[in-house]
Amino acid sequence: VIKCRAAVAWEAGKPLSLEEVEVAPPKAHEVRIKIVATAVCHTDAYTLSGADPEGCFPVILGHEGAGIVESVGEGVTKVKPGDTVIPLYIPQCGECKFCKNPKTNLCQKIRVTQGKGLMPDGTSRFTCKGKQIYHFMGTSTFSEYTVVADISVAKIDAAAPLDKVCLLGCGISTGYGAVVNTAKVEPGSTCAVFGLGGVGLAVIMGCKVAGASRIIGIDINKDKYAKAKEFGATECISPQDFKKPIQEVLVEMTDGGVDYSFECIGNVGVMRAALEACHKGWGVSVIVGVAAAGQEISTRPFQLVTGRTWKGTAFGGWKSVDNVPKLVTDYMSKKIKVDEFVTHTLPFDKINEAFELMHTGK
């Protein structure tokens, strides 16, 4: 058993608490990882807020991390102690019907236990002050050591800087993949990106790599425009600057609508606007943001009858074990940006400050 520090969420709506936790050794087909770097994501904040129907407490959050394998359980063959890895919140077992289908990346092998905050055998590897602590998204990267299923880990280039590539565990991969895998944006396309946070910037990067000729960024926070343009946005607009709905503005700006739109916020009203901003006959809108529990999307069916397509994406459609190492290689060969997404680097004990910076859009 390893004793180490972790940021524990004891209950919903309260700040994280830095505690000493015990991390049990990995059981069969499990891997214990020394987490070197982790990022914060709105999904962590969403669960912490209490709005997540799958949220269980007390829990160690975090799902964008990178580290070194410390030990492996019985039967683990893909990684060994000392390997550099990224934990995966969408695993890839290679055996379930989802993994065998090229149309999806949603491996279901450990979905049920992962959703309950437990390891595949139905138990936890974390304890603190004598209490069982739940896992989160199968990763729990807000701990100096974590235990994950062996199908939830990608071995990556040992030379990769972990304080950067941890971001490939969720946000960057999700936004970039939404463009290249889910939407399949073609050269010369016109694209609209709603929400210019980390995921939105990754979408813009993907649109640029795909050869889009016009990339319109949409956000009410104008402080985000300069960064969006660095990533490839050709123009940025705020819905607050217009009297009419933003979809009408976009349809006028683009002679009938955009070829592709991406919703990167998790707001059902914006999801509707993103669909309705698409061009009749061929426009495709991809939902990337996660809306709160119980919310529903709506539009007039005629929007779809007249040739628009509504799609969604999880982790950018990447089959995780196969593709995360390739994304790291693409970053190392400068094909995709990662460093530019990092705004702040804080010590672990300032993790609550990191959440405040995220909430204020900084």
CA distances from 267 to 54, 195, 203, 298 (A): 19, 10, 17, 12
Q: Which of 317, 288, 314, 272 is nearest to 195 (CA)?
A: 288
What pLDDT is attached to residue 159?
98
Instruction: Tell me the residue ranges of DSSP E strands in 169-280.
Output: 190-194, 214-218, 235-237, 260-263
3-state SS, residue 214: strand
pTM (2 d.p.) = 0.96
- Tally Cβ neighbours within 10 Å of residue 128: 17
- Taken in order 348, 350, 352, 356, the sign of the CA dihedral is negative
Can you name the CATH fold of 174-314?
Answer: Rossmann fold (3.40.50)
Nearest of 151, 152, 181, 186 to residue 316 by alpha carbon: 181
Going residue by residue through the chain (362 aa), what tens digit of pLDDT does each one get? 999 999 999 999 999 999 999 999 999 999 999 999 999 999 999 999 988 888 999 999 999 999 999 999 999 999 999 999 999 999 999 999 999 999 999 999 999 999 999 999 999 999 999 999 999 999 999 999 999 999 999 999 999 999 999 999 999 999 999 999 999 999 999 999 999 999 999 999 999 999 999 999 999 999 999 999 999 999 999 999 999 999 999 999 999 999 999 999 999 999 999 999 999 999 999 999 999 888 999 999 999 999 999 999 999 999 999 999 999 999 999 999 999 999 999 999 999 999 999 998 88
CATH number at 2-169+319-352: 3.90.180.10
Q: Where are the domains of the chain?
A: 2-169+319-352, 174-314
pLDDT attached to residue 22: 98
Residue type, 152: S
What letters, b where the CB count within 10 A reaches 16 and e where it falls short, cover 159-169? Answer: ebebebbbbbb
Q: Angle at which helices 268-276 and 246-253 pack, to 10 degrees?
A: 20
Cβ distance 293 to 43 under 8 Å? no
